[in-house]
Amino acid sequence: MKVTVMNEAGSSEALFGLSLSYNSSPSKTVANKLAFKGDGHNKFLEMIAVWLDITAPRYWWSQFDTYRIGVTKQSESTMHTLMERAQTQSDFEGKLDPFVLRVLNNYIARKDLEGAKTHLPESFLQRRVVKTNYMTLQRIIRQRRTHKLVEWHEFCDAIIQQCEWPELLEEQDDS
């Protein structure tokens, strides 16, 4: 799995909007205090847009599709890219059985798209550009941080390491 934060925008606008509620100048301190309150107190997080470049296995993408609100995606078309060349081990997450790879590549060699898609393992890596926001990323991190799939840990770590305001994404334990 590979996750790259391509761009972020709107943080100054979000802080300005937040300051209107408090009749004060934009303040990161107020943002930090409200980021995890919920119930509309943290709606400014929706205004901070984030574009991600993600390469992940299909089984992970099916779980990621749970997060539809505030998310727009564009992806590699399996229909167009799968048939371009024989697939190799590097096109899959983890170790793929060589027999399975041979069967898949036989369908590809015969230009049988339906057969190739039918036999395409869920570990096939697909790349997507995702546009989301801090509120959705915060929800993902809260819900998936301790998930049993290692890819969720990798995703959360990458987001926290690369985003400009990680303190707005993961609540710190003060104990």
Judged against a pLDDT cut of 90, whether residue 145 lies above it is answered with yes
Number of domains the chain is built from: 2
Judge if 137 and 70 occupy the same domain: yes
d(CA 114, CA 73): 24
pLDDT at 80: 77
Judge if 49 and 12 occupy the same domain: yes
Domain membership flag for residue 145: yes
pLDDT > 90: percent of the chain: 75
Judge if 21 and 69 occupy the same domain: yes
Q: Rounded to whole angstroms, what are the CA distances from 162 to 5, 26, 27, 30, 43?
A: 6, 23, 22, 22, 22
User: CA nearest 87: which of 39, 60, 126, 134?
Assistant: 126
Judged against a pLDDT cut of 70, whether residue 132 lies above it is answered with yes
58 in Cβ contact with 122 (< 8 Å): yes
Domain assignment of residue 103, given as a range: 82-122
Domain membership flag for residue 175: no
SS3 call for 98 = helix
- Would the pTM of this model clear 0.75, i.e. be above it? yes
**Interval 13-47: pLDDT, tens:** 999 998 888 777 767 888 998 999 887 889 999 99
Judge if 98 and 115 occupy the same domain: yes
Q: Which residue type does 121 have?
A: P
Judge if 109 and 130 occupy the same domain: no
d(CA 127, CA 86): 18
CATH of the domain at 160: 3.30.1360.170
Judged against a pLDDT cut of 80, whether residue 121 lies above it is answered with yes
**Interval 161-171: pLDDT, tens:** 999 999 999 98
Tokens of 154: 């990798």
Judge if 55 and 67 occupy the same domain: yes
Judge if 118 and 130 occupy the same domain: no
Domain membership flag for residue 173: no
Judge if 66 and 131 occupy the same domain: yes
5 in Cβ contact with 51 (< 8 Å): yes
- Give 61's pLDDT tier (boundaries 50, 70, 90): very high
Judge if 9 and 45 occupy the same domain: yes
